[in-house]
Amino acid sequence: MENEVANQAIGDCWGKLRTVFFVSCIIFICAIGFVASDIYLPSLPAIADYFKKDAAYVQLTMSLFLLTMAVFQIFSGSLSDKYGRKKVLFICILIFIISSVGCFYAASINELIFYRCLQAIGACAGMSIGQAMVADTYGAKETGRILSITIPLVAFSPAIAPVLGGYVEMLFDWRAIFLLLVVYGFIILIMLLTPIIPNKAKYKENLQIKKAAFDVKIFIKMLKDKKFFGFALFMMTSNATYFSFLAGAPFLLKKFGYSPSAVGYAFCLASFPYMFASLLGRRLSLTRSSLQIIFLGLLLSAMGGILFLFMYFSAWQHMLGLMIPIFVITIGNGLLMPFSSANAIALFPKNSGLVTGTLGSAQLTAASLGTALMGFVENGTFLPFALIVLSFSIFTIIYYLSVFKNSALPSANEGIP
């Protein structure tokens, strides 16, 4: 009897340890796109000087990277539905490593842009397939809890990556950053060769059915589904709001008299509420349904917009005037993002790769739109932030109440099927 208890305790301990290793690997895999997109940002001036090109031309290495990721992320997820997660991800990471080497040896800005687009094709699989692996391994409710850990930590990577890239450039030069990305890719390959990442799919019959790598009918069905569209919409507006902050904050803080280094630290600080939201989301999931948590996230985003409006009318031109509303918005985003993703996957569980790829593509597209929108309306005050956040928040809350009106205040044990 004592041996059985001891064996059970050892089994439970190993199970928890394995989960920690698995989640750590998923975070590392999912973050590859964000790290690759942001790690070289401090080196853009050095790259412009090296190739003797203006800033706008060099910024194409960033914008075309994001656009390529947005397009190909849908296909990487659907390919993994047909051919298997690890196989497709392994090939994509190989492409990422080869293209990173190409970036290192690029002899012209056009070569660098080409290899950056190729790098994006390899990196796009990280977020979509990583989340699909979680869905393959856990049930719908547990997937939400796991993603409430992984997504906030992945979202923190864009804050760390530029700092790391800046130090690498100071110690070596801008090309060394791409060698660091080569090392990053090899670490993921090693992870895929270990049993930490299970070589299985929850719905194995999908891998045995001869079907197109990209199922157009399922894709259209997903987009027509009001609930799926709602979850995608919540994630898109969340991303658009946050990236509009990233685009407008440097100009606003410069007007307020803050240095570029202070702006960098502000971006880092803005990521920490995701950590709090991760803990809060897991705690709330024990007593509240995922819909309740999502709705709370939408309300917090609206509250952040109201705070921006208050800061504008009170003329409080201080970093805290920017960061307090963003903290509230970021907590809301950290609550709604993982549970929206988990519920979207639960609606089409046999096509989880296509679902996560579509969600990832939608988020990247929304991020680029949010950045562009702030570029048009930024005027050196809090008013554009308030208008953007409130517009998105009101729209998403209205959509939520119209589509999920019977579940707006569900019982604690109720969830999305």
Tell me the pLDDT tens digit for each residue of 122-164: 998 887 788 788 878 877 667 777 877 787 778 777 777 877 8
> Is 90 exceeded by the pLDDT of residue 295?
yes
pLDDT at residue number 338: 85
Q: What is the mean pLDDT of residues 231-247?
A: 87
* Count of other CB atoms within 10 angstroms of residue 108: 10
> Is 60 exceeded by the pLDDT of residue 4?
no
**pLDDT confidence band for 415 (50 / 70 / 90):** very low
> Is 90 exceeded by the pLDDT of residue 399?
yes
pLDDT at residue number 17: 80
Long-range contacts for 104-109 (Cβ within 8 Å, ≥24 apart)? 104/175, 104/178, 104/179, 104/182, 108/51, 109/47, 109/51, 109/53, 109/57, 109/58, 109/61
**pLDDT confidence band for 327 (50 / 70 / 90):** very high
Q: What is the mean pLDDT of residues 90-106?
A: 95
pLDDT > 70 fraction of the chain, expressed in percent and rounded: 86
* Count of other CB atoms within 10 angstroms of residue 265: 14
Residue 161 sits at the vertex; the CA angle it makes with 101 and 28, to the nearest 5 degrees, is: 75
Long-range contacts for 410-415 (Cβ within 8 Å, ≥24 apart)? 410/289, 410/291, 410/292, 411/289, 412/287, 412/288, 412/289, 412/292, 413/289, 414/289, 414/291, 415/140, 415/141, 415/289, 415/290, 415/291, 415/343
Q: What is the pTM of this model?
A: 0.71
H-type alpha helices, 59-195: 60-83, 85-105, 109-123, 125-137, 140-171, 174-192
Q: What is the mean pLDDT of residues 87-112?
A: 94
pLDDT at residue number 115: 95
Q: What is the mean pLDDT of residues 373-385?
A: 83
Q: Which segments of 295-373 are extended strands (E)?
A: none
> Is 80 exceeded by the pLDDT of residue 347?
yes
pLDDT at residue number 204: 45
Give me the DSSP letters along 55-73: HHHHTHHHHHHHHHHHHHH
Q: What is the mean pLDDT of residues 249-276?
A: 75
pLDDT at residue number 310: 94
Higher pLDDT pick, 288 / 252: 288
pLDDT at residue number 206: 46
> Is 90 exceeded by the pLDDT of residue 103?
yes
pLDDT at residue number 416: 40
- 161-170, 195-204, 295-304, 333-342: least confidently modelled range: 195-204
Pick the most confident of 48-57, 107-116, 336-345.
107-116
Task: Domains for the chain: give ranges and CATH numbers.
Answer: 1-210 (1.20.1250.20), 215-417 (1.20.1250.20)
Q: Which residues contact 87 (CB under 8 A, 6 or more apart)?
A: 80
Higher pLDDT pick, 397 / 169: 397
pLDDT at residue number 214: 62
Residue 394 CA, chain-centre distance (Å), reads: 23
Q: Are 35 and 161 in contact (CB under 8 A)?
A: yes
> Is 70 exceeded by the pLDDT of residue 319?
yes
Q: What is the mean pLDDT of residues 94-109?
A: 95
Q: What is the mean pLDDT of residues 225-245?
A: 90
pLDDT at residue number 178: 94
pLDDT at residue number 227: 94
pLDDT at residue number 409: 40
pLDDT at residue number 196: 78
Pick the most confident of 23-37, 53-67, 221-235.
221-235
Pick the most confident of 38-42, 252-256, 340-344, 357-361.
340-344
pLDDT at residue number 210: 46
Q: Which amino acid is at 22?
A: F
pLDDT at residue number 93: 95
- pLDDT per residue as tens digits for the range 156-215: 777 778 778 878 888 888 999 999 999 999 999 999 988 877 765 444 444 444 455 567
pLDDT > 90 fraction of the chain, expressed in percent and rounded: 31
pLDDT at residue number 299: 96
